[in-house]
Amino acid sequence: MEQTIQNAEEKMGKTLAALENEFSLVRAGRANPRLLDRITVSYYGVQTHIQQVANISVPEARIILIQPWERTLIKEINKAIYASDIGINPQDDGQSIRLVFPELTGERRQELVKDIKKKAENAKVAVRNIRRDAVEGIKKLEKASEITEDDRKDGESRVQKLTDKYVADIDAALERKTKEIMTV
């Protein structure tokens, strides 16, 4: 039974971590270098993350500065950014590339909040599914006479407490991100 509860907690933790990672990729009007995490460029025929071929900095709140270690990569990085879904047009001066993030409109902020609420709800559903699987596993142990009825009830209670904790953590993450998006 301990193993079942431990597995459930581990999976719930991974669900929360995945949600927070998704939230970090949502653009909130401020420059966040993590937006570039998924973008790769062709570097000597190998797809390589931008962070591995350039210095990335945030000189101002709404600007990301990309300084490739080799000037020949500027065209490749520009192409990769255009092809990505971040929706920012790169500006290059031959030495570096600037990504200037426009101020978000109220309407766009509302769309982003709606989007992150969906992601949070999906994470809650995943946590509840993990709870259901764990409870089923505990009931199977009782049917196989490996644990008593009291142990089953205790196990179900512990799994429910875990579920409540992770749902509250998801709500807190959603609240933080919503506040970040709505802050002008």
How is the chain split into domains, by residue range? 2-25+105-182, 33-100
Q: Other C-beta atoms within 10 Å of 4: how many?
A: 19
Q: What are phi and psi of 26, to 5 degrees?
A: -80, 125
β-partners of residue 41 are 48
Note the CATH number of domain 33-100.
3.30.1360.40
Q: Is the pLDDT of residue 124 over 90?
A: yes
Measure the CA–CA gap between 175 and 165, rounded to whole angstroms. 15
pLDDT digits (tens, 9 = 90+) for 32-66: 787 788 888 888 888 888 889 999 998 888 889 99
Does the 2-25+105-182 domain belong in CATH 3.40.50.1100? no
Give me the percent of the chain exceeding a pLDDT of 90: 46
Kindly state the average pLDDT of the residues 131-139: 94
Kind and range of the H or E element at 47? strand 46-49
141-169 pLDDT tens trace: 999 989 999 999 999 999 999 999 999 99
CA distance 148 to 104: 57
Q: What number is the average pLDDT over the span 110-123?
A: 93
What's residue 118's pLDDT? 95
Q: Is the pLDDT of residue 127 over 90?
A: yes
- What is the enclosing helix (H) or strand (E) of 158? helix 149-182
Between 83 and 126, whose confidence is greater? 126
Q: Is the pLDDT of residue 29 over 70?
A: no
Q: How far apart are the first and last CA of the chain?
A: 49
Of 106, 85, 107, 89, the residue nearest 98 (C-alpha): 89
